[in-house]
Every structure is written in structure tokens, then in C-alpha cells.
Amino acid sequence: MKVFWFIPTHGDSRYLGTSEGARAATYDYFKQVAVAADTLGYEGVLLPTGRSCEDAWVVASSLIAATQRLKFLIAVRPGLSSPALSARMAATFDRLSNGRLLINVVTGGGPVELEGDGVFVDHDARYQITDEFLTIWRDHFRTAHEGGTVDFEGRHLTSKGGKLLYPSLQRPHPPLWFGGSSGAAHDIAASHIDTYLTWGEPPDAVEAKIADVRAKALAKGRQIKFGIRFHVIVRETEGDAWAEADRLISRLDDETVAKAQTDFSRMDSEGQRRMAALNRGKGRSRAELEVYPNVWAGIGLVRTGAGTALVGSPEQIVARMSEYADLGIDTFILSGYPHLEEAYRFAELVFPLLPAGVRKRLDSSLPGPFGEIVGYTHLPKAAQA
């Protein structure tokens, strides 16, 4: 089991849908979150992508020197940049970070945003472009390690004499991650991807996705790992956790929710449709938004992309994580509001309850002693396991 955190490059707040208690999206704040994740022992961080965010590549590059072990899951968007340029960027980042790059292939999105970025193709064409993009991208890394050139002529993309001169540290290339809920997306994952990433849905829906992607990959002679993306609200008691969930959306009004839901309805992403279906037409009570024990769809009222959170006591959070792990999930990418405090809270409350192998890996980055010295001589008592 691997646990990642999140760099909130599109903003952070104590209350969804309002600037009350908001954090400025600045380098200093991103650095605070990244350093916290690094020193607490998180495996890596995801950086979001899109016009609502600061550029993920620029931000992640600025954080290389501020961190030591932290991996960076950064998006490439087929159709917005060429595969050759993306390969050079990835190889450079991987070398400069000493092999700490992971690639998040993002095909989906809303037509309105994509057209603003100059992409005027439909859903299926975007996945055709992604298939050709990844074929060329992966072949560039082959040339860096083995020589030769990339010569490819597809329906959408072409490469003549392409070559990557400086290889990545990771071989054959930085690992490819990818999420998508449509059949076309599953086909892409089966052909190219190292880790398939799903947004947090109830276990039966996640299990069905895993089964389909795994079967398609096996048919191509490939094996794939699986990850899941959740927000998290953990408190010492279940009651406190649900009170925090209610507080997080307590400033939302109907107009704000309606604006967000209108934006979601314009998207042709199957994953976004599935997220919206978990809360659309519902109220804001726990009973209406808890779609599975400890799985809450309240964040998706106004947030695009991942819209569900694990909510509960530390023991409940670990139980749900274990349930998803039993389905085949080995990486959990988490976030919480505000992201700096929640990174500490999750590490303090949940890390000690994770399986022994995970605890050992996390603890290796946390030298003691912990806590404030009692008087001027005595170490604080160790926490009860």
C-alpha cells in the first residue's frame, strides 16, 4: 500500500465554495504542503491540471530542490503538446529529480475548456490521439536507450526521425498513470499504462472497473497496477469527522452548487458523469450524500474531478482503505481541506494503523524524538498502539 498527497494548485480553503478561510495559491504554500508530505513519509504528490490550476510542470519543477524523496505525479495532455516535447520534458525532470517523476496521462475534460485550449475534437477522437501520442512518446524513450529514430504516421499524429538524446533515469521511461471510465479509456490503459487510477466510487463500481481493465491488459500480455483518488476527513471520533464534513459544505448556497453542476453537465467525461451522479439532485445531509459506509459525495457538489471523501475515525478509514486494497488497489492518492493541516492529521492518526510494512516505510523518514520534552529532562510517553 502506497499513500500519496496532493498539491492544491487551484486553491485551498476551510469552506468549499467560498473565499472564507481561503489560502492564497502561492509558491510558499505549495512548498509548505510538499515539504510536509515529504517529511511525513507520503510516497508522492499529485498535481492537478487544467486552466483552473497553476501549471503542474512549472510548480513541480520548483519543488524538486525543496524535497528529498517525494515523487511528483504530473499530467501530460495529449493534443495540447507534442509527444516529442513531452518526452524531453519528462526525461529532463526525471534526471533533475533523481528519478522522482510519474506521468499522469489526462485525456478527458470539458469541451468548453478544451476548445479554449485549442482542442476541437470529440471524445472518441481524443482517445485516438492519446493512443498515437503514447505510442510515439514511449518510442522516444526507446531511442534514448537503444538508438534509432521514431517514424510513425497515424490518423492524427506523425513523427519523422524523432529521437530522444537524453534518457530518463527510470527505465524504460517514467511510469505512466491514467484514469478514465469509458470503454475507450480502458483500452488505452490496457495498451500503454502502468497504473490505472480511478476516482473514489463505491467498491462494487471500482471492482468492475478493475476487472475490465485487468482483463483487457491480460489479453495484450500486460499487467497493470491500480490506484484510487479520494479526499479524506479523519478525526479521532466518527462524530467529529462527520461534523467536519458538514462544516466543510456549510457555506454553500444553491446558486453556487447550480453553477458548478451546470459546468459538469457540459463535460463529456464518463468519469465526471459518474461523479456527478453520486450527488446530483440530492440534498446536503449525511444520509443523502453517504453513498457507501464512510464514502461521502459532498465535495463533488462543487468540485470537478474527484468528488468523494473517506470520512470517519482512523479505524474506519483504515477499514475502508483495506477494503479497496482487497480489490487490487495498491496506491491511495488523498487530499483534505486545508491540505497542509490535513496532511499532518492523516499522518498522525492513520499512519500508525496501516499494515506493518507500510508503517516501516513511512517511519523511516521520521527521525525522533516526537513531542515536547516534559520539564527539561523527560521524553514524552510513547503513544499507545
Q: How many CB atoms are located within 10 Å of the residue 367 CB?
A: 8
The domain at 2-76+179-363 falls in which architecture? Answer: Alpha-Beta Barrel (3.20)
Dihedral sign (CA 346, 348, 354, 357): positive
**What angle do helix axes 203-219 and 314-327 make, rounded to 10 degrees?**
30
- Name residues of the chain where pLDDT drops below 70: 281-282, 363-370, 376, 383-385
Residue type, 122: D
Q: Residue 229 class from Cβ within 10 Å (0-12 exposed, 13-18 middle, 19+ buried)?
A: buried
Query: What pLDDT, on a 0 to 100 scale, did the predictor assign at position 365?
Result: 56
Q: What local confidence, expressed as pLDDT, does residue 370 receive? A: 64
CA angle 205, 195, 10 (to 5 degrees): 80
| DSSP annotation of 53 | S
Question: How many distinct helices (H) and strands (E) make up the chain?
Answer: 14, 13
Average pLDDT along the chain: 91
The model's pLDDT over 209-263, given as tens digits with 9 standing for 90+, comes to 999 999 999 999 999 999 999 999 999 999 999 999 999 999 988 888 888 888 7
CA distance 56 to 42: 19
pLDDT of residue 383: 65
